Amino acid sequence: MNQRAMEGHCQPDADASYVCTRVVDALLREDVRGCVTRARLVRGEELPARTDFSLTQRWLEIGHFGAGRMWIPVTPERFMQSWRLTRLPLLVEEGGQVQPLFHVADILASFSAGADSDTRARFADFERECAAAVEHRHAAEAARRDWFEAGPGHEPVHWHERMLRYDRLASYLDHPLYPTARAKLGFEVAHLRRYAPEFPCAFELNWLAVPRALYHPSGDRLPPGWPGFSDVGLPDTLAADHALVPVHPFVWQGELDAFLAGSGLSEQVIRAPRSHLSVTPTLSVRSLVLAEAPAWHLKLPLTIRTLGAKNIRTIKPSTIRDGQRVQDLLGAIAEREPAIRGRLLLTAEDTGAHVDGKTFLGYIVRRYPEAALRHATLVPVAGLLAPSPAGGCVAEELAARFYGGDTVALFDDYLALTLRLHLTLWVRYGIALESNQQNSVLVFADEAPRLRLLLKDNDAARLHRARLERVAPALAAHIEALEDARLVVDHDLPLAQMFTTITLQLNLAVPTEGLAGCVPGFNREQTYARLRERTAAILDELAAEGEDVALARQTLLDDDWLYIKYLLTAATLLDKSATGAADVNKFYGKSAPNFLKAA
């Protein structure tokens, strides 16, 4: 096929090409169906159909998927994978003819060729997820353009207004590694406009009156404005034996009736006729800021799926209490560590409730430390690379405001604080946090300390009980009552995997790659060298204080390959029975080139 014939094929628009490229890179990164390890690397002149493009490229030739062969044009990569897609199209041989593949549906069909029926069905489901990602990206990009073209607007005065601004900016960026992160499966575009942080929206919550025999509260610090029964149109006499439970309006108008019927609750709970409490969505979509008390957030079950078809956003009863147990533990550790004390902030998440163990009825109350934030600017790590309405990216905007325009100095400050906190937690206390880009929040201020970290939503940590008991027996009491058995581990490997895939890769390496690509003077190699030097120096300090740093040093600095999460494989393309992973978000391989060793 010549170049003109290839270009004559109907090509996808920019958003569809963007999603398609991310999908192919993820397939390569996770070696889906052996697309890398079972492929043959060939030069362009070896292809049966030549184009000007093919002659200058290297290609992975795949012949084991089914009838015919597929070729993927690839470029060597050092970040998270060994090969990435050079550009579309891929090529496939069908019936003796070579055809270009520009569209993700055609690529996934070729990837699933020859597979069993279950695998083909999962690829077909993922193709629909890709279509949703494209549709949702169209809508989000239009909203972003409208916002930016309207001009900067008024400067946010209060800390919570600044927080919502940066959450909204962050919402326009996809998860760095899950290819269809833009898709909020279950939402139509109309739902995005009503309930998603990409859009300026606010709404009121609905309420169920639940018999107290089915209502299981934890803590009693409810936010200001929490309704009484008359506020939601019900008689106050119900307070004697009922409690009010908030419900997201998307659930209320959608699957609530089916859930109640399926669990036998339809005749036991009462739908309140009036809504109450105005809220605005944060970056996480289901965590909502109370309009009249913005230091208080409510986390509600939301029947959508993000980062994979299996990641439905309900609330397990155990997380209502486990998250606060971990927060209490972190607070106690911060007081013991002079290098962390005063630079770590934590939300309080000690109040919540569930209804008879059901994951679709419940809530968690989250309180921000308002006194410590009154003059601060809060930015999730997920927002650092987001484009700013003023031009450039958010990190540059923050550097101009707090670091005299020096983005390198800002990142160095963040890098040092992040490494100090998380390496100390891992090596000394046996704790690794799933403090991802959304749950790690940078807190900037004009007065010292100029930068602090705020952590929230720590209900998925990994805790080495024996290590913690040995170092600080009193601290171990914080985790004695943990309800999710997956949180407690008896060896160091889960800590190494979580530190590597969350703190190192998502929170430090992804911003390094992004800033090196868009900020003048931000050098990728120099930043990785500083990251390696700081890591080595902190490990040396911990070793001098008697800690065992062997695994951390080996995993981070000496091994050729780093652990990586196979997010697409575990969350969409394979069943848990095939992966063996207890958590679809913690299925690991060891196939990412070690950028720290190269440094």
**Burial zone of 485 (CB within 10 Å; 0-12 exposed, 13-18 middle, 19+ buried):** exposed
Average of pLDDT values for 188-204? Answer: 97
Interval 109-157: pLDDT, tens = 999 999 999 999 999 999 999 999 999 999 999 999 999 999 877 788 8
174: DSSP letter: P
User: Each residue of 304-341: pLDDT tens digit?
Assistant: 998 887 778 899 998 899 999 999 999 999 999 999 99
Is the pLDDT at 590 greater than 80, yes or no? yes
Q: Please name the residues in contact with 447: beta carbons below 8 A apart, sequence gap of 6 or more.
A: 375
Percent of the chain with pLDDT over 70: 96
**pLDDT at res. 570:** 87
Residue 10, pLDDT score: 73
Q: Write the pLDDT tens digit of every residue in 477-503.
A: 888 889 999 999 999 999 999 999 999
Q: Is the pTM of this model over 0.85?
A: yes
CB 101 within 8 A of CB 547: no
In sequence order, what are the beta bridge partners of 210? 243
Identify the band that residue 4 occupies on the pLDDT scale cut at 50, 70 and 90. very low
Predicted local confidence at residue 599, as pLDDT: 60
Q: Are 418 and 425 in contact (CB under 8 A)?
A: no
Average pLDDT taken over every residue of the chain: 93
CATH number, span 377-598: 1.10.510.40
Say how far apart CA 520 and CA 566 lie, in whole Å.
Answer: 33
Average pLDDT (362-371) is: 97
pLDDT of 7 > 60? The answer is: no
DSSP 337: -
Over residues 554-561, the mean pLDDT reads 97
Burial 259-279 (b: 16+ CB within 10 A, else e): bbeebebeebbbbbeebbbeb
Domain ranges of the chain: 3-117, 183-374, 377-598
Confidence (pLDDT) at 297: 98
**CATH assignment of 3-117, given 1.20.58, 3.90.550, 3.40.50, 3.30.310?**
3.30.310
The per-residue pLDDT for 77 is: 95
Looking at residue 313, what is its pLDDT?
84
